[in-house]
Amino acid sequence: MKLRYFNFEKDFDKIFKIWQEVGWINDDEKQNEALQYFVKGGQGKVALLKDQVEGYVNSTPGHIQYLDEELSLQAITAVTISRIARKQGIATKATAEVIAEYAAQGVNVSALGMFEQGFYNKLGYGTGSYEHLISFDPDHLDLKGKVPVPERITLEDFKDVHKSRLERQKKHGYCTLLPTEITHAEMLFGPSKPFGLGFRDKNDNITHHMWIKPENDLHGPYFIRWMVFNNKDQFFDLMNLLRNLGDQVHLVKLWEPAGIQFQNFIKKPYRDSHVTKNSKFEVANKANAYWQARILNLKDCINKTTFSNNKLEFNIKLKDPIEKYLDNDSPWQGLSGEYTISFGRTSEIKKGLTPQLPILKTNINTFTRMWLGAARPSILPYTNYFEASESLIQKLDNLFITIPKPHIDWDF
């Protein structure tokens, strides 16, 4: 297997065929156009087997919100392997190399959407929080008030849509992909006829909006690909728009926004769930932890971590499983090592152990989960490699209780 940078002129047609082969897209002009925008919005590497392109890894630059700080992000947005190249180690090796390049450049965090639990753990990724996919009858939303007449938003508005997404109110864990081409591609992908509804200000900027992909144009379900709002009034504008669709559309699906329980807005959620069970229009609330993340730059990530409560110092013996998949000449060799960490109003990490301090033994997967707030320290020994005294674990628990659950708010 050989790896090289993706060349649009030489490689695009082959990548398009591989995406068709594995069932990610179909063979039509719109999907071809969407994939063109997608690959132009990131940096790709192709894997060659017998001198033929049989794999592709794409990564996209962005940001991830950590409390009040914005950290640099590398999103692994596609790992595609042809049918004949499966089980050759291509996906692991290629992804590890791409991660190492970004880490060597100083990028803080890497994240991806996983196809199955466990595969990317060997590259140091830890599982994120549960995201809730809410399905409900929009006519049964319990809301008051009216909403102004919205604007139609079309594919031609992709630049304004992207700007609106970049400027949205960000909460802990929110990810933002920077290239405009990514939003353009996301608006195009899929077999349905997507559309948008939203509002503009006096300067014609989109302030808040939804991008919607119907599974059926007449009665739905309608899938809300994303919902962008910056305050309570804008949120209720969009909610009332959904309610207004309820005279024709029988089901809407969306990923629940951070901190908002949609069940509170449904008149009779349990009754609807029982009545619609196993139907095309089933009302449901499904939890899924489908994304993973890992720290790439320990120094920056620790420095950006602040706690208003007590200071805590401890040693950490850290393992990074990615190192076994990196060549000796890789520009970055992972984060395995022994460190001293100090958490508090200001936080820092330095190499080497400090005598007399308690020791935490863990891997970067698990440490990232704790750092992000995806799992409490006291629970991590049940599910991950996380060894320390009960006293240290309790102190970590008391410290990280202030970190909210992260939600990515941008699928990739």
The residue segments making up the domain with residue 255 are 132-288
pLDDT of amino acid 393: 98
Domain-embedded: residue 352? yes
The mean pLDDT value for 385-392 works out to 98
Helix (H, G, I), strand (E, B) or coil at 200: strand
| CA–CA dist 93, 330 (Å, integer) | 12
pLDDT at 217 over 90: no
Helix (H, G, I), strand (E, B) or coil at 112: strand
pLDDT of amino acid 192: 80
Q: Are residues 147 and 275 in the same domain?
A: yes
Beta strand residue intervals within 16-81, DSSP E: 43-49, 52-66, 69-81
Locate 62 and state its tokens: 């962005």
The mean pLDDT value for 42-56 works out to 94
Instruction: Assign 28 a pLDDT band (cuts: 50, 70, 90).
Output: confident
Number of domains in the chain: 3
Q: Are residues 73 and 152 in the same domain?
A: no
> What is the per-residue DSSP string for 78-100?
EEEE-GGGTTSSHHHHHHHHHHH
Listed residues 288, 320, 351: the one ending a domain: 288
Domain-embedded: residue 42? yes
pLDDT at 1 over 90: no
CATH value at residue 300: 3.30.1050.10
With residue 339 as reference, give the H or E element that holds it: strand 337-343
pLDDT of amino acid 27: 83
Q: Are residues 191 and 305 in the same domain?
A: no
The mean pLDDT value for 26-39 works out to 93
Locate 70 and state its tokens: 């914005």
Domain-embedded: residue 228? yes
HSE-CB of 356 using CA atoms within 13 angstroms? 0
Instruction: Assign 172 a pLDDT band (cuts: 50, 70, 90).
Output: very high
Domain-embedded: residue 411? no
Q: Are residues 102 and 138 in the same domain?
A: no
Q: Are residues 18 and 114 in the same domain?
A: yes
Q: Are residues 199 and 262 in the same domain?
A: yes
Tens of pLDDT along 357-381?
Answer: 999 999 999 999 999 999 999 999 9
Tens of pLDDT along 311-353?
Answer: 999 999 999 999 999 999 999 999 999 999 999 999 999 999 9
The mean pLDDT value for 237-250 works out to 96
CB atoms within 10 A of CB 156: 9
> What is the per-residue DSSP string for 172-188?
TT-EEE--HHHHHHHHH
What is the Cα Rg of the chain in Å?
A: 23
Q: Are residues 104 and 189 in the same domain?
A: no
CB atoms within 10 A of CB 250: 20
> What's the gap between Cα 398 and its chain centre?
27
Tens of pLDDT along 111-123?
Answer: 999 998 899 999 9
pLDDT of amino acid 202: 95
pLDDT at 210 over 90: yes
CATH value at residue 39: 3.40.630.30
Domain-embedded: residue 410? no
In the numeric block, the tokens 């301090």 are attached to: 357
With residue 35 as reference, give the H or E element that holds it: helix 29-40
Domain-embedded: residue 406? no
Q: Are residues 282 and 310 in the same domain?
A: no
- Asked whether the beta carbons of 367 and 345 are under 8 A apart, the reply is no
Tens of pLDDT along 262-312?
Answer: 999 999 999 999 999 999 999 999 999 999 999 999 999 999 999 987 899
> What is the per-residue DSSP string for 139-196?
GGB---S--PPPEEE-GGGHHHHHHHHHTS---TT-EEE--HHHHHHHHH-SSS--EE
Listed residues 288, 322, 342: the one ending a domain: 288
Q: Are residues 333 and 389 in the same domain?
A: yes
Instruction: Assign 154 a pLDDT band (cuts: 50, 70, 90).
Output: very high
What percentage of the chain reaches a pLDDT higher than 70?
Answer: 100
pLDDT of amino acid 286: 96
| CA–CA dist 40, 44 (Å, integer) | 9
CB atoms within 10 A of CB 200: 17
pLDDT at 145 over 90: no
Tens of pLDDT along 255-265?
Answer: 999 999 999 99
Listed residues 103, 129, 155: the one ending a domain: 129
Q: Are residues 123 and 138 in the same domain?
A: no
pLDDT of amino acid 317: 98
Domain-embedded: residue 301? yes
The mean pLDDT value for 231-249 works out to 96
Question: To 10 degrees, the CA torsion angle through 358, 361, 365, 368?
Answer: 0
Q: Which amino acid is at 111?
A: A
> What is the per-residue DSSP string for 241-266?
HHHHGGGT---EEEEPPTT--GGGGB
Q: Are residues 276 and 387 in the same domain?
A: no
Q: Are residues 265 and 346 in the same domain?
A: no
The strand pairing partners of 222, in sequence order, are: 214, 252
